[in-house]
Structure 1
């Protein structure tokens, strides 16, 4: 297999808010919610090579983070996503050792389709081993294939494909045909190696044949003033009669970010060196925390299968207090803020500190743990 290729979060999130491509076609059927309260509450933990040597993946840091996710965030689940079989499997094994429910989701970007399927199969075989050993694990065959996988939308890279989508340089009928074909292939590979619950993480407007999967997975970045509007929107995914997992939800860390939804990250001028925030944003950890807890209340009230806050840490979006123009954490969805020892040095050591969103989720997750305790 070719060397796995990483993707930064700005590129990845571009797909979540690109033009609405198709209205989801839903079958008539019973709703699949199972009563009050989520079954799994967790956070997305992304593994990857890192944008710079300073943000490269670290096994020791990962082990500390998984302990924090269980003991301080009080989550009972972790969405292990990203690329690199060794990174993904090491993180999933650590989560299993800590007794967390695992949502394992490999996401290999810009690689040939055959390599993507091989990467998927290797991770799926490991997930099956964990399941047979008694771990609680679901397996997702990937995320937003039209964005990440070449050959569905024109373009060699993620950014090329996003640009073509935004400009309308694609054939929607042909795109959907290629997407359906690759999704079916991925589901077949997943079934061939994994015997537990199978899923896929789709953008909200993606048209997916959910008959291929056991759990419907949606990356959810809608903004509404009224919670009833969230409920109304989410109910359409329950019509498949299958559990619904919110595979991503969250917002960035500035006033007005929730209204921007999946495009909240798009407030950074990446062409400048150093990169800087555009305009005159007002940092607000409270805005982020209120958005996440409000959405979590909606998911709890609907009795959904799982909800995974996006995301635990974003090392390549460091927080700075000396000049708001360079506080890239404002454009981050993470519930922790990255602090570099030497802000101007890409190789600088760093650590994270919890944001208000971390503490707010920890309180809600903790209360749920108490309610569900035997």
Structure 2
């Protein structure tokens, strides 16, 4: 692919089909086929998306959701996730996902394969630690930072193997969802894929650092970005989910927080305007829905710590301010 776009060809959002996070279990209960189709229709027709990034563990659920999205005319980026897996197990899972994704590509043509997400943390064998939680703690500890070059070397070795496996089974474009701390060798990929969150520490140089990825001469895709819905969430970026005390019964917020949906809406608006101006090829908001229920009692309003643009209420959902803002921006960009 050439880096010659006018910006945001893929107006996207992330959708979790169910990810097995091992010690914390499955991120979402299985979604009925009818509800999957409803969600994909909302993403296409109400949010004005042109693409959806589907991530999850079960390949059948990934491909079923992808089929529903493709039937509606959406482009699909498919990202298999096998959390805490050893490299060989991850690559075996990737091979199965690539085979299934190739079948979709042969039928529909509008499919990209994303070989993984932040594998230094979500994979085993790069940063020491038995679980992704253990590795995240180390990553946040400055005493481990001198070892980042070593970790990135191991990451690129794994990504080289992942590319070989993917290309053996899939004939379309490849990318990867890189964390802010990961230094990826993009030579073997078709697109630069970035989980590119803005927060307090990187705000000043955020746009400048984004432009540096132009050196690779490939389209840039923001595979994840977003924030939560409370005062101060924009400054926390991807760490916003951490305000929940999961040890409490029932789980509750770990402190006093003020719900503010406009914070999330403004964040998405600012980011998308920047991405369009910087000629980013695609961007995927994190995310459509998360199983963190809304409550009128602020102490138990777990949706404050959700990146979803809709809030979960019982077995249903309602749009948040970010939903309406996202729909407005994508409609405007579509009509340019």
Alignment partner of 1:136 out of 91, 105, 110 = 110
Equivalent residue number for residue 209 of structure 1: 185
Query: What residue number does 1:90 align with?
Result: 64
**1:38-76 superposed Cα distances (whole Å, 9 cap, x missing partner):** 111010001116778994121322121011111111101
Q: What SS is found at the alignment partner of 1:147?
A: helix
Asked if the contact 1:142–1:200 (Cα under 8 Å) also holds between the matched residues in 2, the reply is: yes
Structure-2 change in CA distance of 1:35 and 1:129 (3 Å):
closer
Structure 1 Cα separation of the partners of residues 239 and 335 of structure 2 = 35
| Partner residue, 1:182 | 158
1:226 Cα deviation after fit: 11
In the alignment, what sits opposite 1:354? Answer: 319
Shift of 1:278: 2.1
CA displacement 1:161-204 (0-9 Å, x = unmatched) = 22233344684454233222111111111111111111001012
> Which residue, out of 250, 255, 262, partners 1:279?
255
* Shift in alpha-carbon separation, 1:213–1:33, aligned structure 2, 3 A: closer
Which among 30, 36, 55 is matched to residue 57 of structure 1? 30
Q: Is the 8 A contact 1:258 1:288 kept in 2?
A: yes
Aligned to 2:6: 36
Residues 268 and 278 in structure 1, CA contact (< 8 A), matched pair in contact too: yes
User: Is 168-177 or 120-129 further displaced after alignment?
Assistant: 168-177
CA RMSD of aligned residues (A): 2.2
- C-alpha separation between the residues in 1 aligned to 2:195 and 2:216? 17
- Cross-structure match for 1:257: 233
Shift of 1:224: 6.5
Q: Structure 1 unaligned runs (5+)?
A: 1-31, 341-349
Distance 1:176 1:223, change over 3 A: closer
CA distance in 2, matches of 1:355, 1:173: 40
- CA–CA distance in 2 between the matches of 1:54 and 1:225? 29
Partner of residue 223 from structure 1, selected from 188, 196, 199: 199
Gaps (5+ residues) in structure 2? none
The structure-2 alpha-carbon separation of the partners of 1:189 and 1:223, relative to structure 1 and needing over 3 Å to count, comes to same
* Rounded Cα–Cα distance in structure 2 between residues aligned with 1:217 and 1:269: 32
Tell me what 2:53 maps to. 79
- Match of 2:311, SS state, is strand
Q: Kindly state the Cα deviation for residue 271 of structure 1 after the two structures are TM-superposed.
A: 1.4
Q: SS at the partner of 2:15?
A: strand
| 2:284 matches 1:332 | no
TM-score w.r.t. length of structure 2: 0.92
What does residue 43 of structure 2 align with? 69
Q: Give yes or no for contact 1:96–1:135 (8 Å, CA) kept in 2.
A: no
| Structure 1 equivalent of residue 294 of structure 2 | 319
Count how many residue pairs are aligned between Structure 1 and Structure 2.
329
Write 1 or 2 for the structure with the bigger share of helix.
Answer: 2
Q: Are the aligned partners of 2:18 and 2:27 in contact in 1 as well (CA < 8 Å)?
A: no
TM-score (norm 1): 0.83
Corresponding residue SS for 2:229: coil
